[in-house]
Amino acid sequence: MSVQKTLSIIKPDAVKAGHADAINSMIESSGLKILEKKELTLTKEQAQEFYSVHSDKPFYNELCEFMTSGSIIVQMLEGDNAIERYREVMGATNPDDANENTIRKKFASSIQENAVHGSDSEENAIKELNFFFSIN
């Protein structure tokens, strides 16, 4: 299995609720390393660009509002099979469908306010990491 990097975002709902440390413990317990971390607040334009793949979805405007509603913590994760592994640790998009012991089962309050983001493919991981960090 190859070593990969992936982008993690702790979303405004989870930062505000003080869940960042507990979420990072779950990330590290899964064997992923947090290589880089920064806390910032997205502008509307940044949120729209980051989620541009969803621009035709009915939830796009609300999603961009939510993602700019407070600070977020963006992180570069690394480990074996990191992209899929982190998606497993996150759990399903809708917390009602998320497995036990996943971040979203524990900390998400709705399908929108679902605590975390994780890249879903190698191509998107590179794009998303470069949005916030510089990777080679």
For residue 73, give the H/E element and its range.
Answer: strand 72-80
Residue appearing with tokens 């940044």: 46
Residue of 120, 122, 124, 126 interacting with ligand ADP (CB under 6 A)? 120
Interaction between residue 122 and ligand ADP (CB under 6 A): no
Q: Which does 16 bind (CB under 5 to 8 A by kind): ligand ADP, Mg ion, none?
A: none
Residue of 43, 55, 61, 93 interacting with ligand ADP (CB under 6 A)? 93
d(CA 1, CA 128): 22
Residue of 5, 19, 85, 117 interacting with ligand ADP (CB under 6 A)? 117
Interaction between residue 69 and ligand ADP (CB under 6 A): no
Q: What is the largest CA-CA distance in the chain?
A: 38
d(CA 58, CA 39): 28
Window 69-128: residues binding Mg ion (CB under 5 A): 120
Contact 9, 115 (CB under 8 A): no
Among the listed ranges 32-40, 68-76, 110-118, 128-136, the one in contact with ligand ADP (CB under 6 A) is: 110-118
Report which of 80, 81, 63 is spatially closest to residue 9, judged by C-alpha positions.
63
CB of 120 to Mg ion, least distance (A): 5
d(CA 112, CA 118): 14
Residues that bind ligand ADP (CB under 6 A): 54, 59, 63, 93, 111-112, 114, 117, 120
